[in-house]
Structures are given as C-alpha cells and as structure tokens.
Structure 1
C-alpha cells in the first residue's frame, strides 16, 4: 500500500512481519512495520469494509486524508480504530521511531446487511481485545483453537455491526434524477457555509440531496467540477485566508473556526493548498 499523488515519489513500506487469519467471513491481517522515515499508507477495497486497529508501537506523526476528507486527531494510540467504508480510499503519511503493529480487518459489505459504515476514527477497547485474542490463534488448527477462533470472530463481527454501523437516513428531499438542480446546489452551499466550524459528513450531504452516497459523488462532480472533499477544503481554506487577513484571531482559533481538528493539520493543509504557512500568509498580506 503506497501513495502517488504527483507531489512525491512512492515511499516503500518496510514490513517486518505479516500474518493472516480468516474466520466467519472476516479476513484479518496482522502487520508489523518499520516507519522510521516518512512512509505512505493507503487502502482501498470496493467490496469490503476495512477496519484498522493500532496494536503496538507509537508514531511521531500521522497526516491522514480520505477521499472525503482529513481525519486528523494526532498520532494513533494502542486501541485506536479507523473504519474505512467499502469503496472509499484512505491515504496517510506516517513516521515513527519504533516497529508499529496494526491489524487490518476486512469485512464483506453484505456481512453488515443494509447498514452503512461511516468513516470514523475512535477508541474501541473491545475491538482491540478481540483482535488480540485472534492474533494468538494464528497458525493453530486444532479443534479447540478453531472453536475459539470462530467464537471470537463472530463476536467481533457482531460488535462491529452493533457499534460501527447505522441505518441510512431517509432523504429529506424527494429523490429525483441523478443531477443536482439549482435549489439543491444552493441548499448544499448554505449547509457547507453554515457548518464550516463543525464536522460535515458525506452522508449528511448525500442525505440532503436525496441520493445515495455513490450517486451523490457523481452528481456533485458534474455540478461543481470537483469532489465534495475538495469543495469543502476550498471553502475552509478560503474562510481561513479571510480571517487571517481581517481578524486578530490566533492560528489555533482560526483552525478551530474553520473545522480542522488540530492546528498542525490546519497548517499542513493550508501550506499544501496555498503554498505558504498560515502565519506566512498573514505576514505577506
């Protein structure tokens, strides 16, 4: 898994150990990786939801983007969990000083029925404990091990369904053709402008348009000639540029006011988008 966004070459990953386990429809991959230098991580599966569990080690930094947007929140801690829904991409640049262990759990989309999985980073001790229990069974194939493996895997699947999924909301607008009319475009723009200081999910925007997420992404691109994430990022950066030049708010205050999870993540995104740091933009303005 590596990234190439045209801005930097692919960074090779140094995998020290890898073990796989399959049970109850789940596929678990346990990796131990050396990440002393900045390393690109990316993941994508169009038919399976991917859940990542941080098992061991620490990272000095982690700058993460998904197709929809940045998660932020700083480096992971043991027990942190990331959910990447089927059909969506996550890309990260990570760096650490010691071997880092994590587990990738792949769960078929049909295994969660009609429920949807939102993108989320959270802390879930039970997912971590069940994952660790399954790690001890890798390579064992006696009767008792198989029974315990299936029991833990089924408990893990049920817990994921119970805590990581939600019933898709009913659309607020009447579903129509797969296009965004003028009224819907205006409603979407106002929704984004009013909510720049808070979390705006792709599901909420698709719900507002009365479309599934997949159809909404295509309709949005046709209407705005960009992705929802890039549109939201543009609006947040534009708002930040205005506040940097017209207010005395600190960088930290502006970061929160335009919806970034940390000042560091804001500074990184701003520099990538504008070419200078927020403080440099303020000085030059």
Structure 2
C-alpha cells in the first residue's frame, strides 16, 4: 500500500541529514541542510511563534505531495529558487522522494517583521531571495570581520525583501473588521467565486472581498466553511466540471479551462484526486 501523507496517524519517517550548517542574522535563524530522500520522507513543519520560509537550493525530487492549511495541495515539484512561506501557526505536511535535496530553512520570530502579517506562498519562484540565501551560505563558515559585515548587510536585505514582498500591514483599528464572516459576506464570497471560477483567484483578492487581512481571512474562512479557501474553491470547480461533463459536449480540455485549471494535466490530476476517476471516465460511467 502506498504511503499517505502524515496526518498524525502514524510515526514520522526518519530524516537522513547528510550535512547542515546554521547561522543567525538580523533576528532570523538560517539552516542550510542537505538531506537524503531516496525513500519516502516526511517533511512536516509547524511553529506557533516563528514564520518559516523554505528555499529549494539544489536537487531534483521525483515526487512531492503536499497538504496545506492555506494553499494548493497535491503534487508540486520544486525548482531551484522556489520558496514555501509558512506563517506562524500554520501547518504544512509533505511526502517527498528523490535522491538528495539541498534547502535553506529560514525561521523568523513574528516580532522581527514588525506589525505585519506574513502571506503564505507555495512554490513561489524568487531569484533575488535565492541569491541572498546563496550569498549567506558562502560566508556561513567564516568568522572574520568582513564576513560578519557581509552577513549583517545581506541579512538585513533579506529581511527587508521578505517584509516588502511577503507581508501585509493589518488595517487600522478604524477600518478593522471582526474576524468573523457574517451571512452577507459569506454569500458575497460564494457569488464572487462562482462568477470568477475561470479566473486566477488569489488569497489577497478574497481577503479584499471580506475587508480583512489575509491572515485573519484564512482563519475566519475556516471557521465559517470548515475548510480552506483553496479547498473550497477546488470543490466548487470540480462540481462545476462534473455538471459540464454530463450536460455539455465540450471537450475535457475546454471544461478544464472553463473551471479555472491552467493545464489539462492539472485538471485531470485534481479531478481524479477528488472523484476517483479521470474526467473522461466519469463522463463515460454516468
């Protein structure tokens, strides 16, 4: 039987770390690690008080299945320079396999980013942050005066890049909205999702509809709908696709595009994961 994603229902797999080095700069902790992953390996993270940023530095994975509280789940292989941004208090569980993987884990105490909320990201490519991480790696083993100066300067640049590009400022108290989605807001969100199903829908766009910060919106949405915004939208897209498969002559590719999937393969994979069969098989079975 194939191993499933960890859900606190089995022991975590053993991590085989071939090498690691750690450093600290500007209130952040960085861990550079090389890990052997030639068998199925759990990558799980959760930290109540620190934001976690993962930057993929090297290595090719054969498979990576991810389950997130706040974003797309499923297969998603990282490229060099891709980032996963996990806000404090959020969970991320992945099951990976390959040969070896090199990555940098950046742990950022919440207070380091000031009065801001970190916005989650999945497989987000950021060449500039990747470059800063590599420059820090180059001086991680040095303790001379120049290395300390470089570490401090690059670390501050990294902190500012994360603050500028991956955080948002909570609304002022006069604009503040309770962290609850009332009936009218829930209806407005559902209507917006139905009308925009064929478009790219971001967490920021949905949070604006509710007049909330992204962090508050994610929590309020889960409380109201008992699922994440992404999973809710995915369910709606699959339900719409099932209706179109049964009641129209549109091709599977056309239907995938109509309900917001970027590629036919993405549509087929998501549909099979949700329904248990491919879109074509579903159309022929009913």
Q: TM-score by structure 2 length? A: 0.82
Report deviation, 1:169. 6.5
Q: TM-score by structure 1 length? A: 0.82
- The equivalent of 1:118 in structure 2 is 119
Counterpart contact for 1:72–1:261, Cα < 8 Å: no
SS of aligned partner of 1:93: strand
Deviations 1:147-200 (A, max 9, x none): 2221221121122223333445689xx766554333222101101112222333
**Would the alpha carbon gap of residues 100 and 251 (structure 1) be closer, same or farther in structure 2, given more than 3 Å must change?**
farther
- The equivalent of 1:191 in structure 2 is 192
Structure 1: stretches of 5+ with no match in the other structure: none
Residues 1-285 of structure 1 aligned to structure 2 (within 5 Å): 3-5=5-7, 10-70=12-72, 74-96=76-98, 98-120=99-121, 121-168=123-170, 178-213=179-214, 215-285=216-286
Aligned residues: 281
**Would the alpha carbon gap of residues 138 and 75 (structure 1) be closer, same or farther in structure 2, given more than 3 Å must change?**
same
The root-mean-square deviation of aligned C-alpha atoms, in Å, is: 3.1
Q: In the aligned structure 2, how far is the partner of 1:214 from the partner of 1:79?
A: 25
Counterpart contact for 1:64–1:91, Cα < 8 Å: yes
**Would the alpha carbon gap of residues 178 and 82 (structure 1) be closer, same or farther in structure 2, given more than 3 Å must change?**
closer
Q: In the aligned structure 2, how far is the partner of 1:99 from the partner of 1:54?
A: 11
Counterpart contact for 1:59–1:100, Cα < 8 Å: yes
Report deviation, 1:214. 5.2
**Would the alpha carbon gap of residues 176 and 162 (structure 1) be closer, same or farther in structure 2, given more than 3 Å must change?**
closer
Q: In the aligned structure 1, how far is the partner of 2:67 from the partner of 2:261?
A: 12
**Would the alpha carbon gap of residues 46 and 207 (structure 1) be closer, same or farther in structure 2, given more than 3 Å must change?**
farther
Report deviation, 1:134. 1.3
